[in-house]
Structure 1
Amino acid sequence: MEKADYDTLNKSLERKDSLDILKWAYSEFGDEIVYSCSFGVEGMVLIDLISKVNKEAKIIFLDTDFHFKETYELIDKVKARYPTLKINLIKPNLTPEEQAEQYGEKLWKVNPDQCCQLRKMIPLENQLSQHRAWISGLRREQSPTRANTEFVNKDNRFKSIKICPLIHWTEEEIWMYVKLHQLPYNDLHDRNYPSIGCEYCTKPVKEGEDPRSGRWADSGKTECGLHQQP
């Protein structure tokens, strides 16, 4: 599709709610759509909404081998609560030991972009090459780089179509939904981690700071690259 096609499509969907967007997405793409989930709090909302639309939806998690133990514990809870969802943990081609041997120790500190490329970008590219579209939990409120996200987006980086059903949700609304439906969530959220990535690259955030300031702190990096367009 060309840009004008995306504009027209988003115009037709602009008054739809998140469930409507998901229903449209699964009707349009069927088995050729996958949800790439980081298991943050937005992910808990999306998983619950997706389960209402497609109980056998495909969900992937980019398992970098460097995540917090709390993240892995949460994934086990989600699998138990939604046993019919097809949740797969996707590993990089290199083990941490192989990466250290080839690129040096603590690559995430020396060259975080390359670390993300090896452990997240390449694995996701391999997965998305098998699908026509993917779902993301991006919200416009999260950061300036996400402020113009639409429901349906042309993804030049992965040569795919990116569906973002939660673009209009506020953080307050996300947490209201989680509490109302008693959804499991990462315990780190209660310990000043609003945005959670790999253990080595994520720090707690002080009150009043940008919610994503704990990601790649002191490096000048704000995104892993999954949502940045070339």
Structure 2
Amino acid sequence: MVGALNARLTHHGATDVLRAAFVAVPDIALVSSFGAESVVLLHLAAMAKRDVPVIFIDTEMLFAETLVYQQEVAERLRLRNVTIIRADDVARADPDGTLHQRDTDACCALRKTQPLQTALAPYSGWITGRKRYQSGSRATLDFFEVEAGTGRIKVNPLARWARADIVEYMDENRLPRHPLVAQGYPSIGCAPCTSPVAEGEDARAGRWRDQDKDECGIHFVNGKMVRTGAKT
């Protein structure tokens, strides 16, 4: 199914990809960080299906601006089905909130990856905002993938968008910006692990700065980025 969808939609845009996803995978959810560029995918999805389930992971280490922005965007787009999830065992596993200082991978697994996998259990697929330009590991991203280990379909409607496309879409539709973008944060995650980006730096340079890490892990299986889209 995935291979056929990618072939059929090769020359189509994000809206067509979303509509095809809603037909092919009726029980699908959209996962959003409500970060710097998230409003574009949320707006596109809301136009196609207002009641699409939206999952937002509150790691309890997010910027206050992100929490406020999440509420603003949900109200502005009239999203009818937003679920906010949190880890169940933070008090036991990270009682003093310092795990990120010792092991960022373990912190991401505790606060993001594990809660998301639990939240996605009832669904056969999920929609992401990943794009090819964001990192080398995403350079060959397809619209549709099969998630190794779970068999869920992953849909990446914005895979082929450029950064200029994102900005243009926001401008044309007068979408609200995340307030931290204007303060030098083009990519926004948890507050302790996100720093401003200097002019000329890669947009994701402020994520886990000075560490050999550029993904939180929600798109990994057993610690590795795995895609099997071309095989199904």
TM-score norm. by structure 2 comes to 0.91
Match of 2:116 among 112, 124, 129: 124
Query: Is the CA contact (8 Å cut-off) linking 1:125 and 1:158 kept in structure 2?
Result: no
Equivalent residue for 1:190? 182
Match of 1:14 among 10, 15, 32: 10
1:12-161 equivalences in 2 (<5 Å): 12-30=8-26, 32-95=27-90, 97-101=91-95, 105-161=97-153
Equivalent residue for 1:174? 166
Letter in 1 for 2:20: W
Equivalent residue for 1:207? 199
Letter in 2 for 1:52: M
Query: Is the CA contact (8 Å cut-off) linking 1:137 and 1:164 kept in structure 2?
Result: yes
Letter in 2 for 1:25: A
**Mean alpha-carbon deviation: is it higher for 153-162 or for 110-119?**
153-162
> How far does the alpha carbon of each residue in 1:161-194 deviate from its partner, in whole angstroms, 9 at most, with x for none?
1000001111111011111111112111111111
Deviation of 1:216 (Å): 0.8
CA–CA separation in structure 2 for the residues paired with 1:17 and 1:76:
28
Q: Which runs of 5+ in 1 are unaligned?
A: none
> How far does the alpha carbon of each residue in 1:146-173 deviate from its partner, in whole angstroms, 9 at most, with x for none?
0011000111154311000001111111
Equivalent residue for 2:230? none
- CA distance 1:208–1:7, change in 2 (3 Å): same
Equivalent residue for 1:224? 216
> Which has the larger helix fraction?
1
Letter in 2 for 1:99: A
Q: Secondary structure at the match of 1:41?
A: coil
Query: Is the CA contact (8 Å cut-off) linking 2:127 and 2:154 kept in structure 1?
Result: yes
TM-score norm. by structure 1 comes to 0.91
Letter in 1 for 2:16: D
CA–CA separation in structure 2 for the residues paired with 1:129 and 1:187:
32
CA–CA separation in structure 1 for the residues paired with 2:198 and 2:36:
18
> How far does the alpha carbon of each residue in 1:105-153 deviate from its partner, in whole angstroms, 9 at most, with x for none?
5111100000011111111111221100000001101111100110001
CA–CA separation in structure 2 for the residues paired with 1:184 and 1:157:
36
Letter in 2 for 1:11: A
Query: Is the CA contact (8 Å cut-off) linking 2:36 and 2:188 kept in structure 1?
Result: no
CA–CA separation in structure 2 for the residues paired with 1:166 and 1:39:
15
- CA distance 1:68–1:105, change in 2 (3 Å): closer
Q: Which runs of 5+ in 2 are unaligned?
A: 227-232
Q: Secondary structure at the match of 2:68?
A: helix
Deviation of 1:202 (Å): 0.4
> How far does the alpha carbon of each residue in 1:47-75 deviate from its partner, in whole angstroms, 9 at most, with x for none?
11111110111100111000001101101
CA–CA separation in structure 1 for the residues paired with 2:131 and 2:47:
20
Task: Give the alignment's Cα RMSD to 1 decimal.
Answer: 1.5
Equivalent residue for 2:229? none
Query: Is the CA contact (8 Å cut-off) linking 1:37 and 1:59 kept in structure 2?
Result: yes
CA–CA separation in structure 1 for the residues paired with 2:35 and 2:218:
15
